[in-house]
Structure 1
């Protein structure tokens, strides 16, 4: 699927990996709908990138809210062809904390799964409904592409990542099922599985910790760049034979327990 003239909904698109993907898609001629909760960043991107970009404040877990944003996107651009789910949250709690003599807070566990797993599925299913109603845009009868985002923690979660790892493992697990469910209507589904990517969060770390993290990467010995994730997102859209895949983008890292 060629990006030019297509419309992409990007959750978490106001910063980090989502912003990098929005910028890359926009540079290749796509219309962009950003779903995020950061009004300042979202509105700044609209102002910078121009008239074929829209920002919507929304929560990925809100069924009616997401449906209305998809409707507004179609009203603005005429269709929806691409959905990239980047929105997510993390937590740091052990299953049982010996020092505190306390189990993992159940409300925190539920919240992480609600946003990262249920929220991803909510957006994907509603995007699929819209895509399925549209005419095909390729000779193969393709109507759309959904790309979700997991994490290497979905395979090798570290101590304290039980909620995050469970949520990302769920995203990995549902990838092939969504692809199978949507094959009959010409919609592909894949998942990007990032390793350590240099988002602004890492800039707050002391230099020795930052360097130690870089040294855990097999090669090259550095954190990944957001645009490298965006490049993969672009390739998934443009290569029509990529379907049902979970693609690690991690420099060969395999996470240790800590």
Structure 2
């Protein structure tokens, strides 16, 4: 799938890994519908893309099906204006919200907090993907493989070695990883690929909130390079996921060999 001349939907596109994907896709000739709750940041991202006019912001709350529907419909209207058909979706919106299942006093964590993480990271992902797929499956297939597009989901290394306090986060990201292959098999008949990237520690709003002590401890258990990944490095792999037709049905760890310890 060529990025040039296609439109991609990116949730969580106003910051971090999502923003890096927006900028990279626009740099390589694609259009991007930037979905996010933060209107101020979203507009700033749209105004700052390498090619003016290649990104458009849509307010979207992935907890709200109706909000997603409105953003997808807005994207379709924009596509009619630009003539650049839908090429894929990258659901990058996500939250952490750490909590141990029992606190120091032996009290169970709040189920509302668990639901919040699951609903954004998992339900929000599948809701956006399913709504985009309805339209992606109706696009004209292109190339020798008759491909229609690609879904690039975002998991985490926590899906495989979640730390203390990451029950909700690991559950949500593990589910995203687990549904990659069945989704791939569901979509094969339509010429749509599906894969997931599981990043390790990357520069983002989440890591920006970490203390220097915590970040230093994380770096001490990294293999190489011993640093947080750069958002542009994540976006680079997303670009490969879009462009390389043999990347399908798999979860790609992007973590420099990091394996998370039980706790820091």
- Give yes or no for TM over 0.5: yes
Contact 2:33 2:56 in 1 (8 A): yes
Matched, 1:229 2:234: yes
Question: How far, CA to CA, are the matches of 1:215 and 1:186 in structure 2?
Answer: 43
Q: What is the root-mean-square deviation of aligned Cα atoms in Å? A: 1.3
Matched, 1:87 2:93: yes
Please, which runs of 5 or more residues in structure 2 have no aligned partner? none
The match for 1:24 is 24
The match for 1:138 is 143
Question: How far, CA to CA, are the matches of 2:208 and 2:120 in structure 1?
Answer: 25
After TM superposition, which residue ranges in structure 1, 4 or more long, deviate above 4 angstroms? none
The match for 1:7 is 7
Contact 1:215 1:222 in 2 (8 A): no
Over 3 Å counting, the alpha-carbon distance change for 1:51 and 1:67 in structure 2 is: same
The match for 1:35 is 35
The match for 1:123 is 128
Query: What are the equivalent positions in structure 2 for 1:69-218 lying under 5 Å apart?
Result: 69-78=71-80, 79-97=85-103, 99-218=104-223
Question: How far, CA to CA, are the matches of 2:165 and 2:247 in structure 1?
Answer: 33
Please give the secondary structure, in 1, of the residue aligned with 2:198: strand
Q: Which moved more, 1:65-74 or 1:245-254?
A: 65-74
Question: How far, CA to CA, are the matches of 1:61 and 1:183 in structure 2?
Answer: 28
State the 1:105 CA deviation. 0.9
Residues 126-152 of structure 1, C-alpha deviations (whole Å, 9 max, x = no match): 111110111112221111100000001
Please, which runs of 5 or more residues in structure 1 have no aligned partner? none
Contact 2:33 2:57 in 1 (8 A): yes
Q: How many residues align?
A: 257
